[in-house]
Amino acid sequence: MTAPLLQVNNLVKHYHSTGLFRAGPVVRAVDGVSFEVGRGETLALVGESGCGKSTVGRTVLRLQEPTGGSVEFDGESVFTLGREALRRLRRRMQIIFQDPFSSLNPRMTIGKAVAEGIEIHQLARGKAVRQRVATLLEEVGLDPAFMGRYPHEFSGGQRQRIGIARALAVEPTFLVCDEPVSALDVSVQAQVLNLLMDLQAKHGLSYLFIAHDLAVVRQIAHRVAVMYLGRLVETGPTESVLSDPRHPYTQALLSAVPEPDPSRQRQRIILEGDIPSPANPPSGCAFHTRCFHHLKDARCSAEAPVLRPIHSTLAACHYGEVLPQMVQDARNVPAT
């Protein structure tokens, strides 16, 4: 097997919040995360708001400086590169955002916005730039005649296509997709998901797909990594994680996904309380304050579990083997 395209080892990102008169607590947004993304593969990074998933995406691209850990991209160590080398590398690693409107300059035509990267990296000159922009717009399903229009003239779905064209303009091999379909209407969401999958098949792209919706993830991802309070709690092939989750948090996330089919209502696991603050995470297993596992005990609040193979996934739960299987069809089962 060839080496993975992206290898993330023990990534740490802490924020030092500032109080009025003294330093505030350290916010452990990302606290020791390791994963890899293969060539042509989609890894979904899943979790709720505040779990650190977007911070992982941004730190991997060094849009934010890490506190610790290392990232290897195609054999190069991202965190030790100088400015010029980093700029060259950025041509191959791009990002698309949840809200394409706020990431597009309102005074720049979309043709110019897409051409920007091509010009900065000198991938084409003169007329060839225009030609390339037209091809890109066509590729993402937009009429090249729109080149002279401004972002506000487009719908949310079209703007996301512009964002994708802009990212693809520099011929990257790796894309961080940060909640790219969360703000879109369902019918448009499906269009964009299909587009991302087609582009991957055509160009052999690798995606780090950051999302909170497990149904979307099932559609697009080969593997899944579930994050909770700055750490990975479970990871594995998509079908394994979704069909036999071994971490209670993964089960709760799964049970909370609303399924548009009354005949397939899963067991409802309603978690108590909110996600704790990453400035003051619980001791031991960070999930123990909300955990419903019947074997939860003193060990859970004392000792942090590590990711280890359980059944067909890697899960960080002391008692992952004996976690009851989820009831996939709960019509006749009383809610827990």
Partner 1 sequence: MTALLEVTELRVSFPAGTGRSWPVDGVSLHIDRGELLALVGESGSGKSLTSLAMLRLIPPPGRIEPGSGIRLGELDILSLDDKTLREVRGRRIGMVFQDPMTSLNPVFTVGDQIAEGIRAHFPVSRREARDRSLALLTEVGIPDPASRLRSYPHQMSGGMRQRVMIAMALACEPDLLIADEPTTALDVTVQAQILEILDALRKKRGMSVLLITHDLGIVAGRADRVLVMYAGQIVEEAPTERLFQRPSHPYTQGLLASVPRLTGPRTRLTPIGGAVPTPDAWPGGCRFRPRCPQAFDKSELPPPPLPVEPGHTMRCWLAEPEGL
Q: Which residues bind partner 1 (CB under 8 A)?
A: 48-49, 155-158, 185-191, 193-194, 197, 212-216, 218-219, 242, 252-266, 268, 270-271, 273-275, 328
- The residue (of 129 and 269) whose beta carbon lies closer to partner 1 is 269
Q: How far is the CB of 87 from partner 1 (least distance, A)?
A: 36
- The residue (of 66 and 163) whose beta carbon lies closer to partner 1 is 163
Of 124, 183, 114, give the one whose Cα is nearest residue 144: 114
- The residue (of 80 and 328) whose beta carbon lies closer to partner 1 is 328
3-state secondary structure the chain: CCCCCEEEEEEEEEEEEECCCCEEEEEEEEEEEEEEECCCCEEEEECCCCCCHHHHHHHHCCCCCCCEEEEEECCEEHHHCCHHHHHHHHCCEEEECCCCCCCCCCCCCHHHHHHHHHHHCCCCCCHHHHHHHHHHHHHCCCCHHHHHCCHHHCCHHHHHHHHHHHHHCCCCCEEEEECCCCCCCHHHHHHHHHHHHHHHHHHCCEEEEEECCHHHHHHHCCEEEEEECCEEEEEEEHHHHHHCCCCHHHHHHHHHCCCCCHHHCCCCCCCCCCCCCCCCCCCCCCCCCCCCCCCCCHHHHHCCCCCEEECCEEECCCCHHHCCCCCCCCCCCCCC
- The residue (of 117 and 180) whose beta carbon lies closer to partner 1 is 180
Q: How far is the CB of 91 from partner 1 (least distance, A)?
A: 31
- The residue (of 130 and 218) whose beta carbon lies closer to partner 1 is 218
- The residue (of 185 and 297) whose beta carbon lies closer to partner 1 is 185
Q: How far is the CB of 143 from partner 1 (least distance, A)?
A: 13
Q: How far is the CB of 193 from partner 1 (least distance, A)?
A: 6
- The residue (of 123 and 256) whose beta carbon lies closer to partner 1 is 256
- The residue (of 220 and 307) whose beta carbon lies closer to partner 1 is 220
From residue 214, give the alpha-carbon distance in Å to each of 23, 179, 211, 257, 277.
Answer: 38, 12, 8, 7, 23
Q: How far is the CB of 77 from partner 1 (least distance, A)?
A: 35
Q: How far is the CB of 196 from partner 1 (least distance, A)?
A: 11
69 phi, psi to nearest 5 deg: 95, 180
Q: How far is the CB of 131 from partner 1 (least distance, A)?
A: 27
Q: How far is the CB of 115 from partner 1 (least distance, A)?
A: 25
